[in-house]
Amino acid sequence: MVATGTARATKVEGFTDYCAMTLTSIHRSIYLAMAMLQTGLQTFNCPMVGLGTWLSSQGQVGQAVDWALEAGVRLIDTAYMYQNEKEIGDALKKWFDSGKLKRSDLFIVTKLPPMGMKASNVEKYLKKSLEALQLSYVDLYLIHCPFGLKEDDNSVNFKFREGAQVIIETDDHVALWHQMERMFDLGLTKSIGVSNFSSSQIDRIMDIARIRIAVNQVECYAYWQQKNLRKTMEKYGIKLMAYGPLGSPGRPSQVFKGTLPAVLQDPVVTTIAQKWNKTPAQVLLRHLLQLGFIVIPKSVNEARIKENSQVLDFNLCNEDMVILNGLDRGIKGRTFLFDVFPTDKDATKEPEYPFNDERDNYSMFDVQEAGDGKSPSEKDTSSAAN
Ligand code: NAP
């Protein structure tokens, strides 16, 4: 069977049903659950479930990739900034050399780092990533963040050095996008996209794009469901790739100030998990999948990697979807603020700081309006998966 791919959650469910009937292996069903990505010149498939690798340290990440591939995961999300591409590349090479997987079986994502945010730097940083990953192309290249940091002339490796203050420096997004298109033309990436971009920033690129934004990778989980931003993305057919889908509970204090959201322990989530004989993580991931989003949970633990991959053999019913949709806290649920970079001035005041966009933000009081204007009990459950 060849998956025709789809961006709609209902079709993913269709695949799951089909797989349940015809395939015994969960590995196969993961492989077959695909989202459709549009570049404007072609449409192609992206797996719906991937492995995140931020904070997966050297010495751990290669093993995590092995476990993920063994579990049937075919999408690996990394970034120049994560400083782990080399070990990921080594792990991939082993799989290719053994003949167990071909390059075309995998979907590899990496990102242009903030210090590469100059039109003249795009090719250099993509080539550095390709060299570390030991690949001739990636499947998706993303602009990691809409504002840039000045490149350190002495060392192009960005580090959170104590006391260091990096200067915020962002090139014009239009010029940057033309370079991203050139990377596509050169065959160094099969598709291009953005991460952490706001509605206005997306509009600006889509106004001039020859190669479309295929994906916007943004924080998205039960407490922060991006109900406004996703309207803009749906208008353009841009896929949402959800980062922090489990609430990103492993963040150290250097990268997160405050109380981490305990969404995995939320009684609503644990109750639904018990009902389906699944774990809270599986329920949170399944919720996002049924909303039509690609999920990239990070883990370096074998059992949890397997657990996170086993999310295609059950369906949340409409009633549960409505309840999970109702967990949205609007802007209060947002936890990635990009305000912890050691920058020379307040990043949140920068013109390209993405999270001040009024069109995307909604408060706890607007949540019902931002969703569909109805309280959970009033909702027409037939639309719960949309
Ligand atoms: P996440 O996937 O929501 O959470 C990862 C944390 O949850 C880790 O501490 C992990 O610990 C734990 N975990 C994993 N599976 C679990 C399970 N089944 N039950 C309980 N705990 C579990 O958060 P994230 O890593 O922040 O986001 C995912 C990926 O998105 C990243 O790794 C990265 O690839 C990407 N990302 C992108 C951006 C961006 O700006 N574009 C920002 C953040 C993240 P163990 O490892 O010990 O299992």
Residue 120 Cα to chain centre, angstroms: 26
**pLDDT value, residue 237:** 96
What is the residue with the minimal CA distance to atom 46 of ligand 1?
A: 299
Q: Is the CB of 368 under 6 A from ligand 1?
A: no
**pLDDT value, residue 27:** 46
Provide the b/e sequence for 32-54 (b: ≥16 CB within 10 Å): bbbbbbbbeeeebbbbbbbbbbb
Q: Is the CB of 54 under 6 A from ligand 1?
A: yes
**pLDDT value, residue 220:** 98
Residue 123 Cα to chain centre, angstroms: 22
Distance CA 340, CA 342 (A): 6
Residue 281 Cα to chain centre, angstroms: 16
Residues in Cβ contact with 33 at an 8 Å cutoff, skipping those fewer than 6 apart: 3, 12, 15, 16, 47, 48, 49, 289, 312
Q: Is the CB of 243 under 6 A from ligand 1?
A: yes
Distance CA 125, CA 131 (A): 10
199-216, pLDDT tens digit by residue?
Answer: 999 999 999 999 999 999
Mutate-to-test residue for ligand 1 from 54, 111, 294, highest number of ligand atoms within 8 A of CB: 54
Q: What integer best gives the mean pLDDT of the chain?
A: 85
Give the residue-averaged pLDDT of 172-190: 97
Q: Is 82 known to be catalytic?
A: yes
* Residue 338 scores a pLDDT above 90: no
**R_g of the chain, CA atoms, integer Å:** 20
Q: Is the CB of 310 under 6 A from ligand 1?
A: no
As given in the structure block, the two tokens for residue 65 are 């990739």
**pLDDT value, residue 252:** 86
* Residue 274 scores a pLDDT above 60: yes
Q: Which of 18, 31, 80, 82 is catalytic?
A: 82
